[in-house]
Structure 1
Amino acid sequence: MNDCETAIDEVRHQEFKSMNMNMDAYMEAEPTDEAVCLWYSDIGQRIPALRKMLGQMGYPSATRSLLGWLDSYFEQCENFPPGKFPNQEYVKVLIQEFVFYRAVEKNLQKMTTSQELQLLEELCHYLQENSKLATIHNIFDGLFGNSGHPLKDVDEQRRLAMMRLVSMAISIGCKVVLDCTAVWMYNQDCSSHSINLADAVMTDFCELVSGLKDTIQRVAQTSPTFTHHLLTALMSHYNTYQSTSQPIKLIPPAQLDIVTDWIIEHPTVCLRHALPGKPPSRIPSFYIHASYKASSHDPSSSGPVPGLLWQSVLSPLILDANRSQIQKTLDKRFSVHDYSLLFSKLHLGILQAFVTTSDAKATTSKGKARAGALSLSDIESVIMLTVHTIQDNKISRDAVQIAVERIAQLLQVSIATGMLNTTKEKVIPLCKELPSNDLLTLILHEKLPS
């Protein structure tokens, strides 16, 4: 860090200290019985004074001061259940008026482009300076979380701001913002909000702006957890069932190129749920997520793996059946042959990930084995889609054999590495639906651990 940056940080520190002292003065006015009344308990009565003080500060000083106050608020709310933090509505009002909008007299005005850029820089810096993990995630959720209901105007403003914040974090390698976004996506449970975020990020960095490949490639190293959830949301986006003739939408080649590089260079990025240790815990949330179900984050969840398998196995069938149509839609940088090779690379990356993560058969404190990478339902779904795609399209024998051999290789490696979360005996009946293949027959009948 150079002298100029050090001086700027020192000025910011002094500003935060001064403004927080002013905030404390407002909060401590007309003190009540401190033994029974926490500092936030009567915030409703103090809102007019807080608004007046923040309004007089102007932007960005008001936002900086409010962030410092939110830090204290969330730190003292750690033991409250999700969505049950005290005086939430008042906190939402302050965030709305002094973070994402400007309060001008009695009206709210949207930020200008320059104000939004300044805000994003402030948020990046603020989160990097804060060392308490739970507080950081709660602040992030307070700023960008939502209740799961249809987006309102203010939520749309926040959604766009969050997308730009994540893009900035990717560009400058800001790990703390990406890690916070990973928790946010985990809490969202592949909702439309997290899927839209993943789609926007990949489209911006892989397709709309040239020369950013190296930037997006570094994400897997900067924040493997964010990359894992990004992949999970991305697979949900492209693997929405289309029709029997084209059951999934293939990942565009520019995005596929990045995805395969992530998996080849960092094999465990798609299997973090199967690594030794406890599954991620749910950090208390400022918002109640209406779509959340207690069972949706079972540690046996397969993350992005099922979606990656669908893309890997079905791609030779879809490319063969729709070659001329797909060629017309491809970027000039890619031919159908290049596209096909990328899917072969993806398949290799998945196999490599199984091998690299083979030690994931670690046991928990209760002595139960951690879940593998592939469940019986994962295998059943990819086989079903393969069979339907073959039946409903004119596909060459070579393409069919490639698809079936990929299933066979996935089974072989997952069995050998302990990544199969079921027994081979349960898989054999499912495979009878597939076209005959020598490699598949050999694997299903050879003596491997099951």
Structure 2
Amino acid sequence: MDAYMEDEPVDEAVCLWYSDIGQRIPALRQMLGQMGYPSATRTLLGWLHSYFEQCDNFPPGKFPNQDYVKMLVQEFVFYRAVEKNLQKMTSIQELQLLEELCRYLQDNSKLATLHNIFDGLFGNSGHPLKEVDEQRRLAMTRLVSMAISIGCKAVLDCVAVWMYNQDCSSHSINLVDSIMTDFCDLVTGVQGTIQRVAQTSPTFTHHLLTSLMSHYNTYQSTSQPIKLIPPAQLDVITDWIIEHPTVCLRHALTGKPPSRIPSFYIHASYKASSHDPSSSGPVPGLLWQSILSPLILDANRSQIQRALNKRFSLHDYSLLFSKLHLGILQAFVTTSTSDAKSTSSKGKSSRAVALTLTDIESVVMLTVHTIQDNKISGDAVKTAVERIAQLLQVSMATGMLNTTKEKVIPLCKELPSNDLLTLILQEKLPS
């Protein structure tokens, strides 16, 4: 951060953001304009650091002189004209800007300031952001790609808060879809890069999974009630969950998701929704995928086989869903064990909860309707129902299911008869 503050004139550092700023904007814009890129950008980023540190003394959503800050960011970070035409950045300059932003955010050690700066640049709220244009959203997507490639935790953690506040909005879904498509499907030889992101920023990975499940688990047709995760993406996701079991359950752990930060881009009177978008996390969606996949693969065998590339066979694809299912169950066991140790050491009785009765009802009803509406082999039906049975057994034994067996039993009566399911529902749980 010192590198950015060195370019900043002393008098500007002292009084830039006080009440006389309106009178000094023309001179400041002229000075930055004469500096040119990248000096002007570095200088402004240093000023932003000072500004948001001073904002600690103001109520959330009531930061001073916001319009002037937005104007300077638009003109001298993203080089979008405010009153006159600016020379557009070249592709090389855009790449340099992304590198500059990665270094700048990585150098910010104060968490609140870091997230407020990111919000000032890209907008951190689910509320519609008219000021943040498509060019800036594209810049953020490229910034995330670079952060994944170089392992920049600061940027990824900021994006995690952005996704959390977006509540699986179209912008969040488009971002994660673009990232996963680029790293898993379009560019060869970079899967190892995206696989490392779960270690670099588990929180980012968790919210990426949450948005991704919202994207794929939308109704398609009677034969394909959800869109199955593409095999290359599924391969990465299963590795994340197998190697880092708690990455899909961070919403259920004692530590809460990152707090909502009042967006720099909304009026102080705007009231955020009390709904917690990450309350259920990606687990229900991942389970829809693992449980329904045998039915969907069987009902759409020829169509899916034609769509697969040479890297994956239908058998490989099916095995990945089995691996996903096993990974989720293992995550329940791992999280329950670590949560029990944490609870014991802290003397608290709260436990992690991953699933609700509504989640179980949804997956059971989807399974029933898919079986009823399609010609599906007995083996595929057996696999799907047994995965529900395994889910119930492990989630109830680990305390991850926030309901009682008595409430689950009536739902399961709709499912085809299955010996394992009957045995588990009749089994007496340990007290």
Report the TM range for the smaller structure's normalisation: over 0.9
TM-aligned CA deviation for residue 372 of structure 1: 0.6
Which digits, 9 at most, give the CA deviation of each residue in 1:267-310, with x for residues without a partner? 11000111233443223432339794112247xx1200011000
TM-aligned CA deviation for residue 150 of structure 1: 6.0
1: distance between equivalents of 2:271 and 2:412? 35
| Structure 1 counterpart of 2:165, from 187, 209, 225 | 187
Cross-structure match for 1:119: 97
Q: Does structure 1 residue 21 correspond to structure 2 residue 10?
A: yes
Q: Does structure 1 residue 385 correspond to structure 2 residue 366?
A: yes
TM-aligned CA deviation for residue 202 of structure 1: 0.4
State whether residues 225 and 269 of structure 1, in contact with CA within 8 Å, keep that contact through their aligned partners in structure 2. Answer: yes
State whether residues 148 and 291 of structure 1, in contact with CA within 8 Å, keep that contact through their aligned partners in structure 2. Answer: no
Query: Tell me, what secondary structure is at the counterpart of 1:107?
Result: coil
2: distance between equivalents of 1:116 and 1:406? 48
**Which residues in structure 2 correspond to 1:6-17 (within 5 Å)?**
13=2, 16-17=5-6
Q: Does structure 1 residue 410 correspond to structure 2 residue 399?
A: no
Inter-CA distance 399–104: structure 2 relative to 1 (3 Å threshold) = closer
Q: Does structure 1 residue 78 correspond to structure 2 residue 38?
A: no
TM-aligned CA deviation for residue 434 of structure 1: 0.7
Inter-CA distance 413–383: structure 2 relative to 1 (3 Å threshold) = same
TM-aligned CA deviation for residue 15 of structure 1: 6.0
TM-aligned CA deviation for residue 53 of structure 1: 1.4
Cross-structure match for 1:42: 20
Cross-structure match for 1:295: 275
**Which residues in structure 2 correspond to 1:343-354 (within 5 Å)?**
343-354=321-332
TM-aligned CA deviation for residue 407 of structure 1: 0.5
TM-aligned CA deviation for residue 370 of structure 1: 4.0
| Structure 2 counterpart of 1:444, from 418, 425, 428 | 425
TM-aligned CA deviation for residue 117 of structure 1: 0.5
TM-aligned CA deviation for residue 368 of structure 1: 5.9
Cross-structure match for 1:8: none
Q: 207-216 or 279-288: which moved more? A: 279-288
Inter-CA distance 391–105: structure 2 relative to 1 (3 Å threshold) = closer
| Structure 2 counterpart of 1:277, from 238, 255, 272 | 255
Inter-CA distance 297–330: structure 2 relative to 1 (3 Å threshold) = closer
| Structure 1 counterpart of 2:212, from 213, 227, 234 | 234
TM-aligned CA deviation for residue 224 of structure 1: 0.6
Q: Does structure 1 residue 434 correspond to structure 2 residue 423?
A: no
Inter-CA distance 314–79: structure 2 relative to 1 (3 Å threshold) = farther
Which digits, 9 at most, give the CA deviation of each residue in 1:294-336, with x for residues without a partner? 12247xx120001100000000000000000001111111111
Which digits, 9 at most, give the CA deviation of each residue in 1:361-402, with x for residues without a partner? 666999562451111111111111111111111101110010
Inter-CA distance 291–210: structure 2 relative to 1 (3 Å threshold) = farther
Cross-structure match for 2:334: 356
Number of aligned residues? 426
1: distance between equivalents of 2:154 and 2:297? 40
Cross-structure match for 1:261: 239
Q: Does structure 1 residue 221 correspond to structure 2 residue 199?
A: yes
TM-aligned CA deviation for residue 43 of structure 1: 2.3
* Runs of 5+ consecutive residues of structure 2 not aligned to the other structure: none
* Runs of 5+ consecutive residues of structure 1 not aligned to the other structure: 1-11, 29-38
2: distance between equivalents of 1:373 and 1:446? 22
Which digits, 9 at most, give the CA deviation of each residue in 1:220-253, with x for residues without a partner? 1111111001111111110112233211000000
1: distance between equivalents of 2:130 and 2:266? 16
Query: Tell me, what secondary structure is at the counterpart of 1:296?
Result: coil
Inter-CA distance 335–303: structure 2 relative to 1 (3 Å threshold) = same
Inter-CA distance 255–89: structure 2 relative to 1 (3 Å threshold) = same
Inter-CA distance 15–317: structure 2 relative to 1 (3 Å threshold) = closer
The residue type equivalent to 2:229 in the other structure is I
**Which residues in structure 2 correspond to 1:135-150 (within 5 Å)?**
135-145=113-123, 148=126
TM-aligned CA deviation for residue 41 of structure 1: 3.1
State whether residues 20 and 68 of structure 1, in contact with CA within 8 Å, keep that contact through their aligned partners in structure 2. Answer: no
TM-aligned CA deviation for residue 126 of structure 1: 0.7
Cross-structure match for 1:68: 46
2: distance between equivalents of 1:22 and 1:54? 15
The residue type equivalent to 1:255 in the other structure is Q
Q: Does structure 1 residue 425 correspond to structure 2 residue 403?
A: no
State the identity %: 82
